[in-house]
Structure 1
């Protein structure tokens, strides 16, 4: 084996030889960084943590389900009922101005126009939520 260069660790005095094309770097403490692959235990622990994080969440819809179409009068009655139940204030920030209806599960992801899927949000909170699912917001 042909040695191209060597480096001496200032703390321990160890000599490290390099092959062509390889480099060594010091970390902030002055020790050599030795990049290592994640172990199986580390990967398994990360998978368990991710599962626990999303344990209480509902699964994402796998495909778009068409929502039932409703007319203007029925939509108005639903909106009035949701606003009344929310006390005419935003359910996230408590604002009483620029109130809108928000679909908890967005219509683009299969949510419908039923009362259990609607909430009262102000315009800025509704725009911040966009088309995210409830478990995407908490993350």
Structure 2
């Protein structure tokens, strides 16, 4: 079970409001997303930690600063390294190979 739902919600809600983004999510949405990703980072496919200093982070696939929403369908779970490196880049700017024809994402 994923803990810290209130922390996710309040931090992301504040950022969403600052950017005028619509939507909200809760810890259950994050748990569903984590399960759909089979506990792997969306960007590098490394196993995500549930606790500790390398605990996974919730990332907005389309950054809030670029018009992304705060709804569940715009969330992915990422390792801290990928989340920091992606920052406010569009996903195809951060990891272009994930968007090439025939990549694992298309399968």
Q: What TM bracket, shorter-length normalisation?
A: 0.5 to 0.7
Cα deviation for residue 122 of structure 1 reads 0.5
- Relative CO higher for 1 or 2, CA cutoff 8 Å, sep ≥ 6? 2
**Structure 1: which 4+ aligned runs deviate by more than 6 Å?**
none
RMSD: 2.1
What is residue 102 of structure 1 aligned with on the other side? 59
What is residue 88 of structure 1 aligned with on the other side? 39
What is residue 75 of structure 2 aligned with on the other side? 118
What runs of 5+ residues in structure 1 fail to find an aligned partner? 1-64
Larger fraction in helix: 2
When normalised by structure 1's length, the TM-score is: 0.45
What runs of 5+ residues in structure 2 fail to find an aligned partner? 1-18, 50-54, 98-107
| Count of residues in correspondence between the two structures | 72
Q: Within the alignment, does 1:68 sit opposite 2:22 as a pair?
A: yes
Distance (whole Å) between structure 2 residues aligned to residue 102 and residue 76 of structure 1 = 14
Larger fraction in strand: 1
- Larger C-alpha radius of gyration, 1 or 2? 1
